[in-house]
Each structure stands twice: as C-alpha cells, then as structure tokens.
Chains A and B, each alone.
Chain A
Amino acid sequence: MYTLSSKLKLTAIIFMIVGAIGLIYGFIAAPETIEDVKEMMASEHHGEEHAAVEPSEINVEQLPGEGVSREHAQEIQEEHAAETAHGEEASHEDEHYEHVLHQLQNKPWSALYVAAFFFFMISLGVLAFYAIQYAAQAGWSPVLFRVMEAITAYLLPGGIIVFVLLMLSGFHINHLFIWMDPEVVAHDEIIQAKTSYLNVPFFLIRAAIYLGGWILFRHLLRKNSLKMDDATDNTYFKKNFKLAAGFLVFFIVTESMMSWDWIMSLDPHWFSTLFGWFVFASLFVSGITTIAIISIYLKSRGYLEFVNDSHIHDLAKFMFGISIFWTYLWFSQFMLIWYSNIPEEVVYFISRMEDYPVLFWGMLVTNFIFPVLLLMNSDYKRVNWFVIMTGIVILCGHYINVFVLVMPATVGESWFIGIPEISAVLLFAGLFLFVVFNALTKAPLLVKGNPFIKESKHYHY
C-alpha cells in the first residue's frame, strides 16, 4: 500500500493556496470599465497610442506585385487619415477600448479554463490509454494499472470543475464563448446558422453526457479492477474487457464532439475536420507522459517493485510515437489551410502566427523536435531522468498547445503568461497531485487476479 507522504500533501496544498490567491488577484486586477483600460494602457505604453490608429501592418513581401501592395497600403493609410479628420476618432477609439476591455476581462477566465481543461485532459488521456490496454489485452502494462487508475481519479473533480466553468459561461458570467452572447448572435449570420447545434442548453446537455459517460465508465472499470483482486476466475477481467471496448467506441465519438464544443466553438466562424483527432493526440500524449512521470517517481520511492526499465522503455516509446502523431496532425491541419489559403479558414492561423509567434512555433520544438531527438535512442528511453526531463517538456508543450487553441479566441493579442495563468496552473496542479496521490493510497499498487499480471511482472524488452 502506498502512503501519502506529508511533504507531497503539503506541496499540493501550498500549490492550491498560492494558485487560488494568484487567481483571485487576477480577477481583481482585471479592468471593469473602459476607463480602467485607458488608464492601464496609458501607464503601460506611453507613446504607443498611435498603434491603434495605424493601419494594421501589411507584409508587403507576401503580396503578389510589390508596387500594387504598396499603393494599397497607402490607400488604407489615407483612408484612416480621412476618417480621423472627419472626427470619428472618438467613437473609433472607444470601440477599440471596449474590444480590449473584453479581452482583458476574459484573461483570468481563460487562464482558469485552459488550466482546468489541461489537467482534465491528462486524466482523460490516461483513461483512454487504460482502456486500450484492456481492449488490446496488453501483456506488459498490468503492473502499471493502479497508477493509471489513480490518475483517472481526477476525472470526477476535474470534470465537475470544467462543467461548472462551462455553466458559468452559459449563464453569461464570462464571455469565453461569443456564440453564447445573444447580442453577438443577433448580428452574426454565420453563428445564427449554427444555433441549432451551438445553443446553451444543448451545449450543457452534451457536456453532461460526455462527462457523465466518461466518469461512469471510469467508475465501473475501477470497481471491477478492485473486485478482480479477490476474484478466483476471470469474470471481472472479461467484464472490464467488454467495458473497455465499449468505452473506446463511446470515447472516440464524444471526444471528437467535446473538442468541437469546448475548444473549436471558441472560434465559431472556423472549423476543421481533423480537430477532434488533433485534440485527442494532445490529451493522449500528455496522459502517457504523466503515467511515465508518476511511475518513475513511485518507483524511485520503492513502491513499484515490479516495474522495470522495460516498462519505462515502453512508455517512453509511446511518448515518442504519439508526439510524432500529434505533430503529424498539427502539420496536416496547418499545411492544408496554409496551402489553400482560403480566407475564412486561414484567419485562424494568421491570428495565431501574428499574435503568438513564439508559442505557436515554440510548441513544435517542445512537442516534436525535443522528444524526437531525445527519445530516439533506445538506451535513453531507459534512463529515468531523461524520460522525466523530456516528459516535463512535453507536458509544458501541450499546455502551450491548449493555450494557443483557446487564448487567441478569448483574449486575442492581449495575452500574457503572467500571474493569472501561472496561478491557474498551480491551482490545478496542486489539486491534481492531491487527488491522484490520494487515490493511490486507496488500493494496493499491484493488481491481482489479472490474467496477464505474471507476464507483466516478467516483462522484458
């Protein structure tokens, strides 16, 4: 049996308290009126007031025919000059400040949403991995089942938090989803055409179905797994096998819809067909990485006596492979849109490339180049600190991935990884650690009665 060390408990609680304080600060510091925004912007960048009036930068090089584009840029500038001359400046500026105000008000909410979703998706990814291990009758992984089960314990509290956040959006406490704002919808024909799918009651019902289904499957799988410990035959294993297969069918449908609902609908004018897979790859690799990190930690404390280097090697192989899979999907989505360059699709990437260049391209380094180069060598996959180091980089990279998926739609160019963002991560990291390690104390760390457990104990690659 695992006993929760008081140090770990204290760390988790400190994380939660510091995170909560930082988040409260983030909500207090968010501006409430346009005047606050004006004050903030005046104190932040003096001399840059022109930035708002100047025509948005046009990349002359990218347009065909330099002369034409220069002329065009000139025209825009003249138009703007004319506008300001006509005395429309005030209303124009107010509109701009209102825009910034909404972004800044969204900032702490988005920070909370990104972190809540990120930790929730880790446990969801682990549940998918766990179900695949059952359905595939994997012989190597049963010694890791209790670790996976413990990580999926976060599904219940994490899911409730995500659901509460979605409800708050639905009740107009925040403005993360613009299609929930009736005023926006009234002037927006594109969203109007989608209201049969994108409406608050149906949205919340769908969310409840996904979450309820996942939590129910997790509950049943765990219950059978615990019963299997005292079982004399394979009844519970067979039950879990069927449950896992059923879960995987349910999961791939609901996960796809979840990614449309919770992430893609943040940009209701944009859609992409492989989006569900893309989010799946992200949550799957984060989940596997978390299994590896927690297993190595527990092993270093002497709790997982049957986990050997070969098990870690296998997990590292999965981290390596699914990182490449994620990149494949990322690139497939990006390249298809970049290549055809259809205006209604490409705005999605233009806003990300222009406002989030470091994060947008940096996540390719953390999520692809780094794991590929470090985990390619077979020997390195057995070096525990190598796996931990790469794992931490992968997790940071996938946090950035979720960040870049959510933030451009909610806060746009007003993003910053500051106090609210870091605090939200700390808050949920603390909660995650607390829930997961608490769940580890609830059952012995080695499953019994699993027909593959002997093979798994002697697993050698």
Chain B
Amino acid sequence: MSSKVIQAMYNDDDILMDAVKEVRAANHHIEEVYTPFPVHGLDKAMGLKGTRIAITAFLYGCVGFSFSIWMMNYMMIEQWPQDIGGKPSFTFFQNMPAFVPIMFEMSVFFAAHLMVITFYMRSRLWPFKEAENPDPRTTDDMFVMEVAVDENEQELVSFLENTGTVEIKVTEK
C-alpha cells in the first residue's frame, strides 16, 4: 500500500490556523505542519498533547540536588573531615550553608542540561542529521500542512483548495 500525502502550502499563519481547524473539523488526519516560526496556538488547534518536558526537568533537578548532597557529604564530611578555617565539618547540617551554592548550581545544571538532551533525543535532533524538510520555502515564508490521503484523493484536494492554500502537491511518502 503506497501512502500518499497532500502538501498544502499557505503563505500566512492566520490562514493556516483557520485551515487546520477546518481540516480537523472535516475529520482528515493532519500528518505534520511545517512552519518557519512558532505559530502561537497551532499546537492547540492541531490537538497536540502538552509537553511533559517540564516534569522531566523537575526530576533531573532533584537528581542534581541529591547528587550534590551525596557528593559533598562524602567528600567533606565522611571521607576527610578536615578542619578548614574552623568550619564545622562534624555533620552535613552543621556545614550546610557553605554547600548551598553548589547544591543550587548542581540542581540547575542537571535540570537544564539533561532537559536539553531529552529535548534533542525526543525530537531526534543531532549533528549531521538529514533535514526532513518537504520544501525549502518552509524555512522562509511558507507554511506546509501535510494531510494523509485515505481513499478519495480528488475530494481531499478540492477540499484543501478551498482553505486558502496557494499551492498543492500530492507526493508519495
């Protein structure tokens, strides 16, 4: 079974938004939308689920926080509790204020970097990755909506033509 997609091009984000709503209302499946810049509200109009990356960031932050506590407790309190300038290194809590800057930075470091790496992995971004751009103009001034063709190609094309598109391409995927 060959899977065909229709690439409908738009040259305005407002028209695109209306088109997305119409296509969704007519129960056609939108495969993907390519835009040159973030279009506010597009994810809601497409019915995409919210991202959970903030939750991962919180968890990574907790990991960094715990790691810094473990690290400093091990190094400064357990391994070699030296008297450095009269700081009380008898228990972790006695010397905790001195560790807070590191605890803070470690939490931020872990949360930020691991979240970014998670983002790269989930969105499959890496150096030398081949670009998945259907049309080079979508990085400049064009918006492309890819709609899957189910049975009736002609009907779908004429439906999309009425949504303000400037160009329509039917391609094999």
**Residues of chain A whose beta carbon lies under 8 Å from any beta carbon of chain B:** 61-62, 64, 331, 334-335, 338-339, 341, 376, 378
Please state if B97 and A61 are interface contacts (CB–CB under 8 Å).
Answer: no
- How far does the alpha carbon of A325 sit from the alpha carbon of B126 in the complex, in Å? 37
Would you give 19 A-B contacts (Cβ < 8 Å), ordered by A?
A61-B88, A61-B90, A61-B94, A62-B88, A62-B94, A64-B83, A64-B86, A331-B97, A331-B100, A334-B97, A335-B97, A335-B98, A335-B100, A338-B97, A339-B97, A339-B98, A341-B86, A376-B58, A378-B54
How close is B69's CB to chain A, nearest CB, in angstroms?
Answer: 15
- How far does the alpha carbon of A444 sit from the alpha carbon of B24 in the complex, in Å? 43
User: With A61-B94, A378-B54 given, can you name 11 additional A-B contacts, CB distance below 8 Å?
Assistant: A61-B88, A61-B90, A62-B88, A62-B94, A334-B97, A335-B97, A335-B98, A338-B97, A339-B98, A341-B86, A376-B58
- How far does the alpha carbon of A384 sit from the alpha carbon of B97 in the complex, in Å? 35
How close is B129's CB to chain A, nearest CB, in angstroms?
Answer: 31
Kindly count the residue-residue contacts between A and B in the assembled complex, taking CB atoms under 8 Å apart: 19
Contact flags B108-121 to A (C-beta < 8 A → 1, else 0) = 00000000000000
How close is B155's CB to chain A, nearest CB, in angstroms?
Answer: 36
A62 — which chain B residues lie within 8 A by C-beta?
88, 94
Judged by DSSP, the binding face of A is: helix
How close is A109's CB to chain B, nearest CB, in angstroms?
Answer: 33
A338 — which chain B residues lie within 8 A by C-beta?
97
B97 — which chain A residues lie within 8 A by C-beta?
331, 334-335, 338-339
- Quick one: closest B residue to A61, CB to CB? B90
- How far does the alpha carbon of A335 sit from the alpha carbon of B96 in the complex, in Å? 10
How close is B3's CB to chain A, nearest CB, in angstroms?
Answer: 37
How close is B42's CB to chain A, nearest CB, in angstroms?
Answer: 15
B58 — which chain A residues lie within 8 A by C-beta?
376
How close is A111's CB to chain B, nearest CB, in angstroms?
Answer: 31
- How far does the alpha carbon of A62 sit from the alpha carbon of B100 in the complex, in Å? 20
How close is B46's CB to chain A, nearest CB, in angstroms?
Answer: 18
8 tightest A-B CB contacts, nearest first:
A335-B97, A338-B97, A62-B88, A61-B90, A64-B86, A64-B83, A339-B98, A331-B100
A378 — which chain B residues lie within 8 A by C-beta?
54
- Quick one: closest B residue to A338, CB to CB? B97
- How far does the alpha carbon of A335 sit from the alpha carbon of B58 in the complex, in Å? 26
- How far does the alpha carbon of A137 sit from the alpha carbon of B98 in the complex, in Å? 41
- How far does the alpha carbon of A376 sit from the alpha carbon of B54 in the complex, in Å? 10
- Quick one: closest A residue to B91, CB to CB? A61
A376 — which chain B residues lie within 8 A by C-beta?
58
A61 — which chain B residues lie within 8 A by C-beta?
88, 90, 94
How close is B120's CB to chain A, nearest CB, in angstroms?
Answer: 23
Contact flags B41-76 to A (C-beta < 8 A → 1, else 0) = 000000000000010001000000000000000000
- For chain B residues 4-49, which have a beta carbon within 8 Å of chain A? none
Contact flags B84-107 to A (C-beta < 8 A → 1, else 0) = 001010100010011010000000
Which of A338, A376, A378 has the largest count of B CB atoms less than 10 A from its CB?
Answer: A338
- Quick one: closest B residue to A340, CB to CB? B85
- Quick one: closest A residue to B41, CB to CB? A460
How close is B62's CB to chain A, nearest CB, in angstroms?
Answer: 11
- Quick one: closest B residue to A460, CB to CB? B41
- How far does the alpha carbon of A331 sit from the alpha carbon of B96 in the complex, in Å? 12
B83 — which chain A residues lie within 8 A by C-beta?
64
- How far does the alpha carbon of A64 sit from the alpha carbon of B83 in the complex, in Å? 8
- Quick one: closest A residue to B54, CB to CB? A378
